[in-house]
């Protein structure tokens, strides 16, 4: 799943695809690079990001989704917390609602998801984006993320979302120290074992730069991002959310070829 951030302030590529034409061109490039899906968002979730009003988020994201849908049948996910934005995105051709709040942002999020009938991604986050990195603490991060995701999946099903439409995401870097993110990556098989498709988003995140101190900027974390993708593939995640599609496709193809050569 290739990331399209129609934002001025995303942590790794803010401002590069803020204009509609630049975002559409980037989406096309990700498709050409081998993406099986796109995740299009217009509000940064980085720590300290400023909230985006609904009208502004709609104006940023809907034209991009509509333009891609007019020329390509690729699955499109809308990355938003807001039911109005999800609704408009689905009307424009999105087939999945990716919500970093696991549909907790608004009381009508889950019922809207059920009504839209789209796939939904329920992601774990401790706190909210503006404050989430202020001293996150867990007794047992894997068990707490598991319990949260099970509870959110149960709530979604109770609200009328079809079980087979639900995806789970451990939320790497969302209210987590670097160590928490690494522990989750080490135990991804337990999230996969919950029985829902799992989406993993570790691409270019700051915990990678804590391991390789020489990686001073987000786009200097490709090697680390690929290592996380391979950990996800080994654990059996269903999709990875990445900025660097071409390199990810190549890493996964080589991994699959090695696996095939073993049999
Ligand atoms: N990470 C980001 C945004 N949305 N959604 C899911 N399901 N999982 C993730 O790990 C995830 C996500 C952060 O990455 P990015 O979109 O590049 O940055 P920003 O939020 O600053 O736009």
Tell me the pLDDT tens digit for each residue of 3-30. 999 999 888 888 889 999 999 999 999 9
Which of 8, 41, 218 to mutate for ligand 1's pocket (most ligand atoms within 8 Å of CB)? 41
**pLDDT score, position 260:** 96
pLDDT in tens, 239-257: 999 999 999 999 999 999 9
Catalytic positions are: 205, 241
Region 93-115: mean pLDDT is 97
**pLDDT score, position 92:** 98
**pLDDT score, position 263:** 85
Q: Which CATH superfamily is domain 2-261 in?
A: Dihydropteroate synthase-like (3.20.20.20)
Q: Which atom, in ligand 1's list, is nearest to the CA of 10? A: 21
Identify the CA nearest to 154 among candidates 136, 140, 166, 169.
166
Is the CB of residue 43 below 6 angstroms from any atom belonging to ligand 1? no
Mean model confidence pLDDT for the chain: 95
Q: Residue 142: how many CB atoms within 10 A of its CB?
A: 17
Place of tokens 């104006």: 59
Percent of the chain with pLDDT over 70: 100
Is the CB of residue 101 below 6 angstroms from any atom belonging to ligand 1? no
Cα separation, 161 vs 132, whole angstroms: 27
Is the CB of residue 77 below 6 angstroms from any atom belonging to ligand 1? no
CA angle (39 as vertex; 29, 228 as ends), nearest 5: 90
User: Residue 46's pLDDT band (boundaries 50, 70, 90)?
Assistant: confident
Contact 93, 63 (CB under 8 A): no
**pLDDT score, position 180:** 97
**pLDDT score, position 177:** 95
**pLDDT score, position 50:** 84
Region class of 175: left (phi > 0), else alpha (psi between -120 and 50), else beta:
left
* 192 SS3 class: helix
Region 211-215: mean pLDDT is 92
Region 204-225: mean pLDDT is 93
Identify the CA nearest to 155 among candidates 191, 115, 111.
111
Q: Which atom, in ligand 1's list, is nearest to the CA of 13? A: 17
**Centroid of ligand 1 to alpha carbon of 43 (angstroms):** 10
Query: Three-state secondary structure along 95-155?
Result: CEEEECCCCCCCCCHHHHHHHHCCEEEEECCCCCCCCCCCCCCCCCHHHHHHHHHHHHHHH
User: Residue 130's pLDDT band (boundaries 50, 70, 90)?
Assistant: confident
Is the CB of residue 92 below 6 angstroms from any atom belonging to ligand 1? no
**pLDDT score, position 14:** 81
217: which DSSP letter?
S
**pLDDT score, position 48:** 77
Q: Ligand 1: which residue has its CA nearest to atom 1?
A: 201
């Amino acid at each position: 799943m290739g990331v399209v951030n129609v934002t001025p302030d995303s942590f790794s590529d803010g401002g590069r695809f803020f204009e509609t034409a630049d975002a559409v061109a980037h989406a096309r490039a990700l498709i050409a690079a081998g993406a099986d899906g796109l995740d299009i968002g217009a509000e940064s979730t980085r720590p300290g990001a400023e909230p985006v009003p609904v009208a502004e988020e709609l104006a940023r994201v809907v034209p991009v989704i509509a333009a891609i849908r007019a020329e390509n049948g690729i699955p499109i996910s809308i990355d938003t917390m807001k039911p109005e934005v999800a609704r408009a995105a689905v009307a424009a051709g999105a087939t999945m609602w990716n919500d970093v709040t696991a549909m907790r942002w608004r009381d009508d999020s889950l019922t809207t998801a059920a009504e839209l009938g789209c796939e939904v991604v329920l992601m774990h986050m401790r706190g909210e984006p503006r404050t989430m990195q202020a001293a996150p603490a867990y007794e047992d991060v894997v068990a707490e993320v598991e319990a949260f995701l099970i509870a959110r999946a149960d709530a979604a099903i109770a609200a009328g979302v079809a079980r087979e439409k639900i995806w789970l995401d451990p939320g790497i870097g969302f209210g987590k120290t670097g160590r928490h993110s690494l522990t989750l990556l080490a135990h991804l098989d337990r999230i996969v074992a919950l029985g829902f498709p799992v989406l993993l988003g570790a691409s270019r995140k700051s915990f990678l730069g804590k391991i390789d101190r020489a990686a001073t900027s987000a786009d200097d974390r490709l090697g680390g991002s690929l290592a996380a993708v391979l950990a996800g593939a080994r654990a059996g995640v269903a999709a990875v959310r990445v900025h660097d599609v071409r390199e990810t496709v190549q890493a996964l193809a080589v991994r699959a070829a090695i696996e095939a050569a073993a049999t």
